[in-house]
Amino acid sequence: AQKITQTQPGMFVQEKEAVTLDCTYDTSDQSYGLFWYKQPSSGEMIFLIYQGSYDEQNATEGRYSLNFQKARKSANLVISASQLGDSAMYFCAMRDLLRDDMRFGAGTRLTVKP
């Protein structure tokens, strides 16, 4: 069974600094996708970034980048130049692309300090 682990229940970062949110996963599948979602206090789920298991380069989307280390089964999210609006819950998720089965980690609450 797939398992997603986010070991940081809460993180603090100073505005304008970079922060790394950890995510490790456990799967025996060869074909899968890794996702990060942001959930602000308003409650909606916002897609941030995606990494395919066969992608050789780390994904980047604006200030978001995904540090993908396949051998270590980790997919950490790096947010550069943090902004106050980045304060939210962040969820790591993995999707088995063949079975279309998506599992989420427990989430990390990020607080950006002014």
Partner 1 sequence: DTAVSQTPKYLVTQMGNDKSIKCEQNLGHDTMYWYKQDSKKFLKIMFSYNNKELIINETVPNRFSPKSPDKAHLNLHINSLELGDSAVYFCASSSIDTGNNEQFFGPGTRLTVL
Q: Which residues bind partner 1 (CB under 8 A)?
A: 33, 35, 37, 39, 43-45, 47, 50, 52, 89, 91, 95, 97, 99-104, 106-107
Measured from the CB atom, the residue of 8 and 39 that comes closer to partner 1 is 39
- Nearest approach, Cβ of residue 22 and partner 1 (Å): 17
- Nearest approach, Cβ of residue 105 and partner 1 (Å): 9
Measured from the CB atom, the residue of 16 and 99 that comes closer to partner 1 is 99
* Cβ pair 60, 77 in contact under 8 A: no
Instruction: Give DSSP secondary structure letters for 57-103.
Output: SPPEETTEEEEEETTTTEEEEEE-S--GGG-EEEEEEEEETTTTEEE
Alpha-carbon Rg of the chain, whole angstroms?
14
Collapsing DSSP states into helix, strand and coil, what is residue 56? coil
Measured from the CB atom, the residue of 14 and 31 that comes closer to partner 1 is 31
- Nearest approach, Cβ of residue 59 and partner 1 (Å): 9
